[in-house]
Chains A and B, each alone.
Chain A
Amino acid sequence: MKRTPLFHYHKDNSKLIEFAEFEMPLWFKGISEEHLTVRESLGLFDVSHMGRFLVKGKDATDFLNYLLPTDVLKVSKGRSFYTVFCNGEGGIVDDSVILKREENEYLVIGNAINIEKDWNWLKKHAKSFDVELNNLSDDSAMLALQGPKAEEVLQTLVKEDLKQIKRFSNFKAKIEDLEVIISRTGYTGEDGFEIIIFDVSYEEPQKALNLWNLLLSKGALPCGLGARDTLRLEAGMCLYGNDIDESVNPLEANLSWIVSFDKGDYLGREALIKVKEKGVKRLRKGFLMEDRGIPRAKCKILKDEEEVGIVSSGTFSPLLKKGIAQGYIKASLSKDDELVQIDIRGIKSLARVKTPPLYDTNLYGWKRIKV
Protein backbone atom coordinates (compact mmCIF):
# COMPACT_ATOMS: atom_id res chain seq x y z
CA MET A 1 0.00 0.00 0.00
CA LYS A 2 1.19 3.54 -0.77
CA ARG A 3 1.80 6.13 1.94
CA THR A 4 2.23 9.89 1.87
CA PRO A 5 5.03 11.70 3.74
CA LEU A 6 2.49 12.56 6.44
CA PHE A 7 1.70 8.93 7.15
CA HIS A 8 4.22 9.23 9.98
CA TYR A 9 1.70 11.54 11.65
CA HIS A 10 -1.47 9.74 10.57
CA LYS A 11 -0.48 6.32 11.91
CA ASP A 12 -0.58 7.50 15.52
CA ASN A 13 -3.38 10.02 15.28
CA SER A 14 -6.13 8.80 12.99
CA LYS A 15 -8.38 5.97 11.98
CA LEU A 16 -6.83 4.74 8.76
CA ILE A 17 -8.54 3.47 5.63
CA GLU A 18 -7.43 2.36 2.23
CA PHE A 19 -8.23 4.83 -0.51
CA ALA A 20 -6.95 4.50 -4.09
CA GLU A 21 -4.18 2.18 -2.87
CA PHE A 22 -3.11 4.72 -0.25
CA GLU A 23 -3.26 4.20 3.48
CA MET A 24 -4.96 7.47 4.47
CA PRO A 25 -6.67 8.98 7.52
CA LEU A 26 -10.46 8.60 7.50
CA TRP A 27 -10.74 10.83 10.56
CA PHE A 28 -8.69 12.16 13.46
CA LYS A 29 -11.40 13.38 15.87
CA GLY A 30 -14.48 12.29 13.95
CA ILE A 31 -16.04 13.23 10.63
CA SER A 32 -18.73 15.53 12.04
CA GLU A 33 -16.38 17.55 14.20
CA GLU A 34 -13.85 17.94 11.39
CA HIS A 35 -16.55 18.85 8.88
CA LEU A 36 -18.07 21.56 11.09
CA THR A 37 -14.65 22.95 11.97
CA VAL A 38 -13.88 23.49 8.28
CA ARG A 39 -17.23 25.24 7.72
CA GLU A 40 -16.80 27.45 10.77
CA SER A 41 -13.09 27.86 11.33
CA LEU A 42 -10.09 25.96 9.93
CA GLY A 43 -9.11 22.44 8.96
CA LEU A 44 -5.95 20.91 7.51
CA PHE A 45 -5.98 17.97 5.09
CA ASP A 46 -3.18 15.85 3.75
CA VAL A 47 -3.93 15.61 0.03
CA SER A 48 -0.50 14.35 -0.96
CA HIS A 49 -2.09 11.20 -2.37
CA MET A 50 -3.29 13.18 -5.38
CA GLY A 51 -1.34 13.11 -8.63
CA ARG A 52 0.96 16.02 -9.49
CA PHE A 53 2.40 16.39 -12.97
CA LEU A 54 4.59 19.18 -14.31
CA VAL A 55 3.99 20.08 -17.95
CA LYS A 56 6.48 22.54 -19.41
CA GLY A 57 8.13 23.48 -22.68
CA LYS A 58 7.50 25.50 -25.80
CA ASP A 59 4.21 23.74 -26.63
CA ALA A 60 2.87 23.30 -23.09
CA THR A 61 -0.10 25.62 -23.61
CA ASP A 62 -0.97 24.15 -27.03
CA PHE A 63 -0.61 20.63 -25.63
CA LEU A 64 -3.06 21.23 -22.79
CA ASN A 65 -5.33 23.20 -25.06
CA TYR A 66 -5.52 20.11 -27.29
CA LEU A 67 -6.19 17.77 -24.34
CA LEU A 68 -8.79 19.89 -22.52
CA PRO A 69 -12.25 21.21 -23.42
CA THR A 70 -11.35 24.41 -21.56
CA ASP A 71 -9.84 27.32 -23.48
CA VAL A 72 -6.34 27.29 -22.02
CA LEU A 73 -5.28 30.27 -24.17
CA LYS A 74 -7.54 32.45 -22.03
CA VAL A 75 -5.87 31.41 -18.77
CA SER A 76 -3.31 33.88 -17.48
CA LYS A 77 -0.11 33.15 -15.62
CA GLY A 78 -0.70 32.68 -11.90
CA ARG A 79 -4.25 31.37 -12.33
CA SER A 80 -5.54 27.92 -11.37
CA PHE A 81 -8.51 26.34 -13.14
CA TYR A 82 -10.79 23.35 -12.77
CA THR A 83 -11.22 21.21 -15.87
CA VAL A 84 -11.54 17.64 -17.13
CA PHE A 85 -9.56 15.53 -19.57
CA CYS A 86 -11.88 13.97 -22.16
CA ASN A 87 -11.28 11.01 -24.41
CA GLY A 88 -12.29 10.98 -28.09
CA GLU A 89 -15.86 10.02 -27.15
CA GLY A 90 -16.17 12.92 -24.75
CA GLY A 91 -15.92 10.62 -21.70
CA ILE A 92 -14.12 12.00 -18.67
CA VAL A 93 -10.63 10.52 -18.21
CA ASP A 94 -10.04 12.55 -15.05
CA ASP A 95 -10.98 15.86 -13.50
CA SER A 96 -8.22 18.18 -12.50
CA VAL A 97 -7.15 21.50 -11.09
CA ILE A 98 -4.36 22.96 -13.17
CA LEU A 99 -2.04 25.71 -11.98
CA LYS A 100 -0.61 27.91 -14.71
CA ARG A 101 2.76 28.79 -13.20
CA GLU A 102 4.53 30.41 -16.16
CA GLU A 103 3.58 31.10 -19.77
CA ASN A 104 4.56 27.55 -20.72
CA GLU A 105 4.59 25.77 -17.39
CA TYR A 106 1.64 24.07 -15.72
CA LEU A 107 1.15 21.93 -12.66
CA VAL A 108 -1.63 19.39 -13.24
CA ILE A 109 -3.32 17.98 -10.12
CA GLY A 110 -5.24 14.75 -10.73
CA ASN A 111 -7.01 12.13 -8.65
CA ALA A 112 -5.04 9.59 -6.63
CA ILE A 113 -6.99 6.78 -8.24
CA ASN A 114 -5.91 7.99 -11.69
CA ILE A 115 -2.21 8.71 -11.18
CA GLU A 116 -1.03 6.01 -13.53
CA LYS A 117 -3.81 6.60 -16.06
CA ASP A 118 -3.21 10.37 -16.16
CA TRP A 119 0.53 9.90 -16.49
CA ASN A 120 0.08 7.49 -19.39
CA TRP A 121 -2.53 9.77 -20.95
CA LEU A 122 -0.21 12.77 -20.85
CA LYS A 123 2.76 10.78 -22.18
CA LYS A 124 0.72 9.20 -24.97
CA HIS A 125 -0.51 12.53 -26.33
CA ALA A 126 2.71 14.45 -25.80
CA LYS A 127 4.50 12.78 -28.71
CA SER A 128 3.66 15.41 -31.31
CA PHE A 129 4.29 18.36 -28.96
CA ASP A 130 7.49 19.94 -27.69
CA VAL A 131 6.79 19.41 -23.99
CA GLU A 132 8.61 17.99 -21.04
CA LEU A 133 6.58 15.94 -18.58
CA ASN A 134 7.44 15.17 -15.01
CA ASN A 135 5.51 12.97 -12.59
CA LEU A 136 6.10 14.59 -9.20
CA SER A 137 3.48 12.56 -7.36
CA ASP A 138 5.91 10.55 -5.21
CA ASP A 139 8.36 13.40 -4.64
CA SER A 140 6.08 16.13 -3.41
CA ALA A 141 3.38 16.68 -0.83
CA MET A 142 0.22 18.75 -0.76
CA LEU A 143 -1.66 20.17 2.21
CA ALA A 144 -5.08 21.78 2.01
CA LEU A 145 -5.73 24.49 4.58
CA GLN A 146 -9.47 25.06 4.40
CA GLY A 147 -12.03 27.19 6.16
CA PRO A 148 -13.01 30.82 6.76
CA LYS A 149 -9.91 31.40 8.93
CA ALA A 150 -7.49 30.19 6.25
CA GLU A 151 -6.46 33.63 5.07
CA GLU A 152 -5.90 35.01 8.55
CA VAL A 153 -3.74 32.06 9.59
CA LEU A 154 -1.71 31.74 6.40
CA GLN A 155 -1.07 35.50 6.42
CA THR A 156 1.00 35.07 9.58
CA LEU A 157 3.35 32.78 7.60
CA VAL A 158 3.81 34.39 4.17
CA LYS A 159 4.90 37.89 3.20
CA GLU A 160 2.56 38.23 0.20
CA ASP A 161 -0.62 40.17 0.90
CA LEU A 162 -3.27 37.48 0.69
CA LYS A 163 -5.99 40.09 0.19
CA GLN A 164 -4.47 40.50 -3.29
CA ILE A 165 -4.56 36.76 -4.01
CA LYS A 166 -7.90 35.98 -5.59
CA ARG A 167 -9.72 32.68 -5.45
CA PHE A 168 -8.24 30.38 -8.14
CA SER A 169 -4.87 32.15 -8.13
CA ASN A 170 -1.49 30.61 -7.33
CA PHE A 171 1.91 31.93 -6.36
CA LYS A 172 5.32 30.84 -5.15
CA ALA A 173 5.96 31.61 -1.49
CA LYS A 174 8.29 30.93 1.38
CA ILE A 175 6.98 29.59 4.67
CA GLU A 176 9.84 29.87 7.12
CA ASP A 177 12.65 28.48 4.95
CA LEU A 178 10.49 26.24 2.85
CA GLU A 179 9.71 27.12 -0.77
CA VAL A 180 6.18 26.16 -1.70
CA ILE A 181 3.54 26.82 -4.33
CA ILE A 182 0.21 27.98 -2.96
CA SER A 183 -3.08 27.89 -4.83
CA ARG A 184 -6.22 29.50 -3.45
CA THR A 185 -8.35 26.46 -4.23
CA GLY A 186 -9.84 23.46 -2.46
CA TYR A 187 -12.38 20.68 -2.35
CA THR A 188 -14.59 21.83 0.51
CA GLY A 189 -16.57 24.80 -0.79
CA GLU A 190 -14.82 27.01 1.76
CA ASP A 191 -12.09 29.54 1.18
CA GLY A 192 -8.68 27.98 1.53
CA PHE A 193 -5.27 27.23 0.14
CA GLU A 194 -3.59 24.18 -1.28
CA ILE A 195 0.12 24.18 -0.52
CA ILE A 196 2.55 22.10 -2.54
CA ILE A 197 5.92 21.11 -1.13
CA PHE A 198 8.60 19.69 -3.42
CA ASP A 199 11.46 17.25 -2.87
CA VAL A 200 9.75 15.40 -0.07
CA SER A 201 8.69 11.76 0.10
CA TYR A 202 7.56 9.05 2.49
CA GLU A 203 11.23 8.20 3.05
CA GLU A 204 12.27 11.86 3.47
CA PRO A 205 9.14 13.37 5.03
CA GLN A 206 10.56 16.11 7.26
CA LYS A 207 9.67 19.19 5.21
CA ALA A 208 6.05 18.11 4.93
CA LEU A 209 5.81 17.11 8.58
CA ASN A 210 7.28 20.46 9.66
CA LEU A 211 4.72 22.44 7.68
CA TRP A 212 1.88 20.16 8.84
CA ASN A 213 2.87 20.66 12.49
CA LEU A 214 3.36 24.39 12.00
CA LEU A 215 -0.16 24.78 10.61
CA LEU A 216 -1.60 22.66 13.41
CA SER A 217 0.20 24.86 15.94
CA LYS A 218 -1.60 27.85 14.39
CA GLY A 219 -4.94 26.27 15.29
CA ALA A 220 -5.94 24.21 12.25
CA LEU A 221 -7.69 20.92 13.05
CA PRO A 222 -6.32 17.86 11.24
CA CYS A 223 -9.03 16.43 8.98
CA GLY A 224 -9.37 13.13 7.16
CA LEU A 225 -10.89 11.84 3.97
CA GLY A 226 -14.26 11.34 5.67
CA ALA A 227 -14.81 15.07 6.17
CA ARG A 228 -13.26 15.76 2.79
CA ASP A 229 -16.01 13.65 1.23
CA THR A 230 -18.93 15.16 3.17
CA LEU A 231 -17.64 18.69 2.55
CA ARG A 232 -17.22 18.24 -1.21
CA LEU A 233 -20.64 16.58 -1.44
CA GLU A 234 -22.35 19.54 0.24
CA ALA A 235 -20.45 21.83 -2.11
CA GLY A 236 -21.51 19.75 -5.13
CA MET A 237 -18.05 18.76 -6.32
CA CYS A 238 -17.40 15.53 -8.21
CA LEU A 239 -15.58 12.49 -6.91
CA TYR A 240 -13.97 10.64 -9.81
CA GLY A 241 -15.08 7.02 -9.96
CA ASN A 242 -18.40 7.86 -8.28
CA ASP A 243 -19.89 10.95 -9.88
CA ILE A 244 -17.88 11.02 -13.07
CA ASP A 245 -15.93 8.49 -15.12
CA GLU A 246 -15.33 7.62 -18.75
CA SER A 247 -19.01 6.74 -19.29
CA VAL A 248 -20.02 10.33 -18.56
CA ASN A 249 -19.33 13.49 -20.55
CA PRO A 250 -18.86 16.94 -18.98
CA LEU A 251 -22.19 18.25 -20.31
CA GLU A 252 -24.14 15.51 -18.52
CA ALA A 253 -21.96 16.06 -15.48
CA ASN A 254 -23.26 19.64 -15.39
CA LEU A 255 -19.77 20.94 -16.12
CA SER A 256 -20.67 22.77 -19.34
CA TRP A 257 -19.05 25.91 -17.88
CA ILE A 258 -15.62 24.36 -18.44
CA VAL A 259 -16.39 23.33 -22.04
CA SER A 260 -15.57 25.70 -24.90
CA PHE A 261 -16.97 25.06 -28.36
CA ASP A 262 -15.36 28.03 -30.07
CA LYS A 263 -11.70 27.57 -29.19
CA GLY A 264 -10.76 25.33 -32.13
CA ASP A 265 -10.12 21.62 -32.22
CA TYR A 266 -9.42 19.50 -29.15
CA LEU A 267 -9.72 15.90 -28.08
CA GLY A 268 -13.38 14.97 -27.69
CA ARG A 269 -14.73 18.12 -29.34
CA GLU A 270 -16.64 16.33 -32.13
CA ALA A 271 -18.31 14.03 -29.62
CA LEU A 272 -19.23 16.89 -27.29
CA ILE A 273 -20.72 18.90 -30.17
CA LYS A 274 -22.95 15.92 -30.98
CA VAL A 275 -24.04 15.67 -27.35
CA LYS A 276 -24.80 19.37 -27.29
CA GLU A 277 -26.82 19.24 -30.52
CA LYS A 278 -28.87 16.29 -29.36
CA GLY A 279 -29.27 17.72 -25.88
CA VAL A 280 -28.34 15.80 -22.74
CA LYS A 281 -30.76 13.14 -21.51
CA ARG A 282 -29.51 13.09 -17.94
CA LEU A 283 -27.90 15.66 -15.72
CA ARG A 284 -25.85 15.56 -12.52
CA LYS A 285 -27.69 17.36 -9.71
CA GLY A 286 -27.71 17.61 -5.94
CA PHE A 287 -30.44 16.09 -3.74
CA LEU A 288 -31.64 16.94 -0.25
CA MET A 289 -33.60 14.31 1.66
CA GLU A 290 -37.02 15.35 2.84
CA ASP A 291 -37.59 12.02 4.62
CA ARG A 292 -35.25 10.30 7.04
CA GLY A 293 -32.69 8.02 5.47
CA ILE A 294 -29.25 8.36 3.97
CA PRO A 295 -28.94 7.89 0.23
CA ARG A 296 -25.86 6.01 -0.95
CA ALA A 297 -24.20 5.43 -4.31
CA LYS A 298 -26.26 3.26 -6.71
CA CYS A 299 -29.62 3.95 -5.02
CA LYS A 300 -32.31 4.37 -7.68
CA ILE A 301 -34.12 7.68 -8.16
CA LEU A 302 -37.84 7.31 -8.86
CA LYS A 303 -40.67 9.55 -10.00
CA ASP A 304 -44.21 8.13 -9.99
CA GLU A 305 -42.82 4.59 -9.59
CA GLU A 306 -40.68 5.00 -12.71
CA GLU A 307 -36.89 4.88 -12.51
CA VAL A 308 -35.57 8.29 -13.56
CA GLY A 309 -32.03 8.36 -12.27
CA ILE A 310 -29.35 7.00 -10.01
CA VAL A 311 -27.42 8.30 -7.00
CA SER A 312 -23.68 8.59 -7.69
CA SER A 313 -22.70 9.51 -4.14
CA GLY A 314 -24.58 10.15 -0.95
CA THR A 315 -23.95 10.72 2.72
CA PHE A 316 -25.27 12.31 5.88
CA SER A 317 -24.60 16.04 6.00
CA PRO A 318 -23.14 16.93 9.41
CA LEU A 319 -24.14 20.55 8.79
CA LEU A 320 -27.71 20.08 7.54
CA LYS A 321 -28.26 16.98 9.70
CA LYS A 322 -29.93 15.09 6.89
CA GLY A 323 -29.17 12.84 3.97
CA ILE A 324 -27.71 14.48 0.88
CA ALA A 325 -26.70 13.11 -2.47
CA GLN A 326 -25.45 13.74 -5.91
CA GLY A 327 -26.76 11.81 -8.85
CA TYR A 328 -27.90 11.68 -12.42
CA ILE A 329 -31.52 12.44 -13.19
CA LYS A 330 -33.54 12.65 -16.38
CA ALA A 331 -32.93 16.15 -17.74
CA SER A 332 -36.66 16.95 -17.82
CA LEU A 333 -36.86 16.40 -14.05
CA SER A 334 -33.66 18.22 -13.15
CA LYS A 335 -35.17 21.54 -12.10
CA ASP A 336 -34.63 22.70 -8.53
CA ASP A 337 -37.34 21.72 -6.04
CA GLU A 338 -38.58 18.82 -8.16
CA LEU A 339 -39.69 16.12 -5.71
CA VAL A 340 -38.48 12.60 -6.34
CA GLN A 341 -38.08 9.40 -4.37
CA ILE A 342 -34.82 7.67 -3.64
CA ASP A 343 -34.98 3.94 -3.07
CA ILE A 344 -32.82 3.41 0.01
CA ARG A 345 -32.54 -0.35 0.44
CA GLY A 346 -36.20 -0.85 -0.38
CA ILE A 347 -37.57 2.21 1.39
CA LYS A 348 -38.78 4.89 -1.02
CA SER A 349 -37.83 8.17 0.58
CA LEU A 350 -38.74 11.67 -0.53
CA ALA A 351 -35.96 13.93 -1.79
CA ARG A 352 -35.75 17.31 -3.45
CA VAL A 353 -33.59 18.26 -6.42
CA LYS A 354 -31.24 21.12 -5.61
CA THR A 355 -28.40 22.81 -7.44
CA PRO A 356 -25.41 22.72 -5.08
CA PRO A 357 -24.03 24.07 -2.86
CA LEU A 358 -26.57 22.39 -0.61
CA TYR A 359 -25.83 24.72 2.32
CA ASP A 360 -27.02 28.30 2.74
CA THR A 361 -24.42 30.34 0.84
CA ASN A 362 -25.13 33.38 3.01
CA LEU A 363 -23.81 31.43 6.00
CA TYR A 364 -21.23 29.02 4.57
CA GLY A 365 -18.83 28.70 1.64
CA TRP A 366 -16.12 30.91 0.18
CA LYS A 367 -18.55 33.25 -1.56
CA ARG A 368 -19.64 34.73 1.76
CA ILE A 369 -16.06 35.89 2.25
CA LYS A 370 -14.76 38.50 -0.16
CA VAL A 371 -11.93 36.73 -2.00
Chain B
Amino acid sequence: MKVKEYEVPEELYYTKEHEWVKVISKDRVIVGITDYAVKMLKDIVYFSLPRINQEINFMDSLGTVESIKAVSEIYSPLTGKVIKVNERLLSEPELAYNSPYQEGWIVEMEPKRLDDELKLLLKSEDYAKLLQNL
Protein backbone atom coordinates (compact mmCIF):
# COMPACT_ATOMS: atom_id res chain seq x y z
CA MET B 1 0.00 0.00 0.00
CA LYS B 2 0.99 3.61 -0.31
CA VAL B 3 0.81 6.18 2.49
CA LYS B 4 1.37 9.73 1.33
CA GLU B 5 4.35 9.25 -1.01
CA TYR B 6 5.72 6.22 0.87
CA GLU B 7 5.52 2.57 -0.09
CA VAL B 8 4.49 0.23 2.73
CA PRO B 9 4.52 -3.40 1.50
CA GLU B 10 1.82 -5.38 3.29
CA GLU B 11 3.77 -8.60 3.89
CA LEU B 12 6.48 -6.92 6.01
CA TYR B 13 6.82 -6.14 9.72
CA TYR B 14 8.07 -2.72 10.84
CA THR B 15 9.67 -0.90 13.74
CA LYS B 16 8.79 2.59 14.93
CA GLU B 17 12.36 3.49 13.97
CA HIS B 18 11.56 2.69 10.31
CA GLU B 19 13.25 -0.68 9.82
CA TRP B 20 11.42 -3.49 8.02
CA VAL B 21 11.58 -7.27 8.40
CA LYS B 22 10.69 -9.85 5.82
CA VAL B 23 10.16 -13.34 7.22
CA ILE B 24 11.45 -15.94 4.75
CA SER B 25 11.28 -18.88 7.15
CA LYS B 26 11.43 -19.42 10.90
CA ASP B 27 15.21 -19.19 10.83
CA ARG B 28 15.74 -16.68 8.09
CA VAL B 29 14.66 -13.03 7.86
CA ILE B 30 15.74 -10.07 5.78
CA VAL B 31 16.06 -6.60 7.29
CA GLY B 32 16.19 -3.16 5.73
CA ILE B 33 15.08 0.44 6.20
CA THR B 34 11.77 1.72 4.91
CA ASP B 35 10.89 3.93 1.98
CA TYR B 36 9.97 6.65 4.46
CA ALA B 37 13.40 6.38 6.12
CA VAL B 38 15.32 6.65 2.86
CA LYS B 39 13.22 9.55 1.68
CA MET B 40 13.92 11.39 4.90
CA LEU B 41 17.64 10.68 4.60
CA LYS B 42 17.57 11.45 0.88
CA ASP B 43 21.28 11.69 0.01
CA ILE B 44 22.43 8.33 1.39
CA VAL B 45 26.20 8.16 1.06
CA TYR B 46 27.54 5.66 3.57
CA PHE B 47 26.68 2.43 5.36
CA SER B 48 28.49 0.74 8.18
CA LEU B 49 27.35 -2.87 8.47
CA PRO B 50 27.69 -5.59 11.13
CA ARG B 51 30.04 -8.56 10.83
CA ILE B 52 28.77 -11.91 9.65
CA ASN B 53 27.96 -14.19 12.63
CA GLN B 54 27.59 -11.16 14.88
CA GLU B 55 24.90 -11.72 17.52
CA ILE B 56 22.62 -8.75 17.99
CA ASN B 57 19.85 -8.14 20.52
CA PHE B 58 16.41 -6.80 19.83
CA MET B 59 16.65 -3.07 18.99
CA ASP B 60 20.42 -2.91 19.46
CA SER B 61 22.49 -1.22 16.78
CA LEU B 62 22.83 -3.14 13.56
CA GLY B 63 24.99 -0.47 11.97
CA THR B 64 24.68 3.07 10.74
CA VAL B 65 23.44 4.81 7.65
CA GLU B 66 24.69 8.26 6.79
CA SER B 67 23.23 10.97 4.65
CA ILE B 68 25.39 13.91 3.69
CA LYS B 69 23.98 15.73 6.66
CA ALA B 70 23.96 13.22 9.50
CA VAL B 71 24.52 9.73 10.92
CA SER B 72 21.55 7.53 11.88
CA GLU B 73 21.53 4.23 13.76
CA ILE B 74 19.94 1.20 12.20
CA TYR B 75 18.22 -0.83 14.92
CA SER B 76 17.93 -4.57 14.82
CA PRO B 77 14.22 -5.44 14.71
CA LEU B 78 14.94 -8.94 16.07
CA THR B 79 17.38 -10.79 18.30
CA GLY B 80 19.58 -13.08 16.28
CA LYS B 81 22.72 -13.78 14.31
CA VAL B 82 23.77 -11.95 11.16
CA ILE B 83 24.19 -14.49 8.36
CA LYS B 84 24.60 -12.22 5.35
CA VAL B 85 25.22 -8.50 4.75
CA ASN B 86 24.47 -6.57 1.59
CA GLU B 87 28.00 -5.60 0.64
CA ARG B 88 26.81 -3.76 -2.45
CA LEU B 89 25.66 -1.00 -0.09
CA LEU B 90 29.29 -0.24 0.71
CA SER B 91 30.04 0.86 -2.84
CA GLU B 92 26.50 1.76 -3.93
CA PRO B 93 24.76 3.22 -0.87
CA GLU B 94 22.17 4.84 -3.16
CA LEU B 95 20.66 1.35 -3.68
CA ALA B 96 18.89 1.84 -0.39
CA TYR B 97 17.24 4.98 -1.70
CA ASN B 98 16.38 3.59 -5.11
CA SER B 99 15.13 0.22 -3.92
CA PRO B 100 14.60 0.13 -0.15
CA TYR B 101 12.67 -3.18 -0.13
CA GLN B 102 14.61 -5.07 -2.81
CA GLU B 103 18.19 -4.36 -3.79
CA GLY B 104 18.67 -2.06 -0.81
CA TRP B 105 18.20 -4.79 1.84
CA ILE B 106 20.73 -4.52 4.65
CA VAL B 107 21.21 -7.89 6.40
CA GLU B 108 19.91 -11.41 6.56
CA MET B 109 19.52 -12.77 10.08
CA GLU B 110 18.84 -16.02 11.82
CA PRO B 111 16.32 -14.94 14.48
CA LYS B 112 16.41 -16.40 17.98
CA ARG B 113 13.01 -15.38 19.32
CA LEU B 114 11.04 -14.81 16.17
CA ASP B 115 7.53 -15.58 17.41
CA ASP B 116 7.84 -13.50 20.59
CA GLU B 117 9.49 -10.55 18.95
CA LEU B 118 7.24 -10.34 15.89
CA LYS B 119 4.48 -9.47 18.33
CA LEU B 120 6.51 -6.42 19.34
CA LEU B 121 6.77 -5.18 15.76
CA LEU B 122 4.22 -3.22 13.76
CA LYS B 123 2.10 -4.82 11.06
CA SER B 124 1.90 -2.85 7.82
CA GLU B 125 -1.44 -1.27 8.69
CA ASP B 126 -0.07 -0.05 12.01
CA TYR B 127 3.07 1.29 10.38
CA ALA B 128 0.90 3.01 7.80
CA LYS B 129 -1.01 4.69 10.63
CA LEU B 130 2.26 5.83 12.17
CA LEU B 131 3.31 7.42 8.87
CA GLN B 132 -0.12 8.95 8.43
CA ASN B 133 0.31 10.77 11.75
CA LEU B 134 3.85 12.07 11.14
Contact surface of A with B, Cβ cutoff 8 Å? 15, 26-27, 30-32, 226, 229-230, 292-294, 296, 315-316, 318, 345, 347
Interface size on B (CB < 8 Å)? 12
Instruction: Please state if A31 and B46 are interface contacts (CB–CB under 8 Å).
Output: no
B52-69 vs A, CB cutoff 8 Å, 1 = contact: the mask equals 000000000000101111
Q: Indicate which residue in B42, B66, B90 contacts A294 across the interface (CB closer than 8 Å).
A: B66
CB contacts (< 8 Å) of A315 on chain B: these are 68-69
CA distance in complex: A32, B68 (Å): 8
Q: Indicate which residue in A15, A292, A318 contacts B68 across the interface (CB closer than 8 Å).
A: A318
CA distance in complex: A230, B69 (Å): 9
**Residue with the greatest number of chain B CB neighbours at <10 A, chosen from A31, A294, A347:** A294
Q: Indicate which residue in A316, A345, A347 contacts B45 across the interface (CB closer than 8 Å).
A: A316
Instruction: Please state if A31 and B66 are interface contacts (CB–CB under 8 Å).
Output: no
CB distance from A321 to the nearest CB of B (A): 8
Instruction: Please state if A26 and B69 are interface contacts (CB–CB under 8 Å).
Output: yes
CA distance in complex: A26, B67 (Å): 12
Instruction: Please state if A318 and B43 are interface contacts (CB–CB under 8 Å).
Output: yes
Whether A296 contacts B71 in the complex (CB less than 8 A), given A30-B42, A30-B43, A316-B46, comes out as: yes
Closest B residue, CB atoms, query A227: B68
Q: Indicate which residue in B46, B67, B68, B69 contacts A293 across the interface (CB closer than 8 Å).
A: B46
Q: Indicate which residue in B43, B48, B90 contacts A31 across the interface (CB closer than 8 Å).
A: B43
Whether A294 contacts B43 in the complex (CB less than 8 A), given A31-B69, A230-B68, A315-B68, comes out as: no
CB distance from A216 to the nearest CB of B (A): 21
CA distance in complex: A341, B45 (Å): 21
Apart from A30-B43, A229-B69, what are 11 other A-B pairs with CB-CB below 8 Å?
A27-B42, A226-B43, A226-B68, A226-B69, A292-B46, A293-B46, A294-B45, A294-B66, A294-B71, A315-B68, A318-B45
CB distance from A28 to the nearest CB of B (A): 11
CB contacts (< 8 Å) of B66 on chain A: these are 294, 316
CB contacts (< 8 Å) of B68 on chain A: these are 31-32, 226, 230, 315-316, 318
Closest B residue, CB atoms, query A315: B68
CB contacts (< 8 Å) of A294 on chain B: these are 45-46, 66, 71
Q: Indicate which residue in A15, A230, A347 contacts B42 across the interface (CB closer than 8 Å).
A: A15
CB contacts (< 8 Å) of A26 on chain B: these are 69
Closest B residue, CB atoms, query A293: B46
Closest B residue, CB atoms, query A230: B68
